[in-house]
Amino acid sequence: MKYKAILFDLDGTLLDTLEDLAEAVNEALRRRGFPLHTTEEYRKMVGHGVRNLVTVALPEAFRTDEAFIDSCLADFKAYYTEHIDVHTRPYPGIPELLSRLHGSGARIAVASNKFQEGTEQLIAEFFPGIPFVAILGNRPGYPLKPDPEIVGEVLRKADASPAEAILVGDSSTDMLTARNGGIRSIAVTWGYRPMTATLEYPAVSSVEELATLLLG
């Protein structure tokens, strides 16, 4: 076992959720007669929590009205919860990788900025046989990534030291989260933002490459 604790980002790393997220935000916009965005435009907006996603999708004049944002967010969540799996799928090879990692003795966790209920709903549907040591999303009173608190919480639940842990994600936010938490990281290139390798972290373009780095 190369790593005792392996933390995975969710959207853009384990699951391709972009189209369902885009349709849910567009539904909230549509109800208010606002211009809609393309899925590709949403690619640049995701990754910082759904409140931020809804906010930046709104016309600029409405982005500081917290009560209005609350209303839009409620419509988004209601629609998204009902349509969360219409287009969403695991990236090819991910379910098999998680099974291999679990079989190797690694303690697997999800560390996401997606709202907690949505995170749990997707994990239960798409990875029902994987006993995650922690499934952590955006929860009231907890900071979003790249704050390292989520890393510390996973390490406690996994009974692992920073030296025994690694985070896998698809964005600079994930890489910064790992650095802030004092753990290693790997960037995947199949997610929502172009990622390239640096001296600080490697980047992989296939699940097979990721498996090699994680399993040795």
Q: Supply the DSSP symbol for 3.
A: -
Active site residue 174: no
- φ, ψ at 52 (rounded to 5°): -65, -40
Strand-pair partners of 188? 204
Strand-pair partners of 115? 138
The DSSP result for 120-163, as a single string, is HHHHHHH-TT---SEEEEE-TTSPPTTSTHHHHHHHHHHT--GG
Nearest-angstrom CA–CA distance, 54 and 51: 5
Of 9, 11, 16, 170, the catalytic one is 9
Residues 179 and 159: beta-carbon distance below 8 Å: no
Nearest-angstrom CA–CA distance, 58 and 29: 7
Catalytic site positions: 9
